[in-house]
Structure 1
Amino acid sequence: MSMDTTSQAVPAAPPTDKSAPAFFVVSLKKLIVMHLCTAGLYGVYWYYKNWALYKQASGQAIRPRLRTIFGVLLLYPLLSRVHLRIRASERYHPFSPLGITLAAIIPLILGIATSSWLLSAPLLWGVTSVVLSAVQYVALVKAQIAINFCEGDEEGKGNADFTPENGLWMLGGGFLYFILFKPLLS
Structure 2
Amino acid sequence: MNPATEAGNRLSKTTPWCDDKRINLYVVSVSKFLLLYGLTAGGYMVYWSYRNWASYKAETGAPIAPLLRAALWPFFILPLFEVVQNGLDRTGRCYFWQPETRGLLIMLLVMFSVLVSTLFTRPADAVYVLFTNAVLITGCCAMLVAAQRAINMLAGDPQGSVNKALSWANFAWMVAGTLLMAIVGYMEFMSQR
- Structure 1 residue 33, shift from structure 2 partner: 0.4
Which structure 1 residue ranges, 5 or more long, are not aligned?
1-9
Deviations 1:115-169 (A, max 9, x none): 3238544454344223322221111111111111111111111111111111111
Q: CA RMSD in A?
A: 2.1
Quick one: which of 81, 84, 108 aligns to 1:82?
Answer: 84
Q: Take 2:167 and 2:74, find their aligned partners in 1: how far apart are those partners?
A: 26
1:1-186 counterparts in 2 under 5 A? 12-14=16-18, 16-18=20-22, 22-115=24-117, 116-117=119-120, 120-186=124-190
Q: Take 2:69 and 2:180, find their aligned partners in 1: how far apart are those partners?
A: 24
Q: What SS does the aligned partner of 1:62 have?
A: coil
In the alignment, is the contact (CA less than 8 A) between 1:14 and 1:88 conserved in 2?
no
Deviations 1:18-52 (A, max 9, x none): 3xx62101111100101111232211110000000
Q: Take 1:96 and 1:13, find their aligned partners in 2: how far apart are those partners?
A: 21
In the alignment, is the contact (CA less than 8 A) between 2:81 and 2:99 conserved in 1?
yes
* AA partner of residue 179 (structure 1): I
In the alignment, is the contact (CA less than 8 A) between 2:37 and 2:141 conserved in 1?
no
In the alignment, is the contact (CA less than 8 A) between 2:50 and 2:69 conserved in 1?
yes
In the alignment, is the contact (CA less than 8 A) between 1:14 and 1:85 conserved in 2?
no
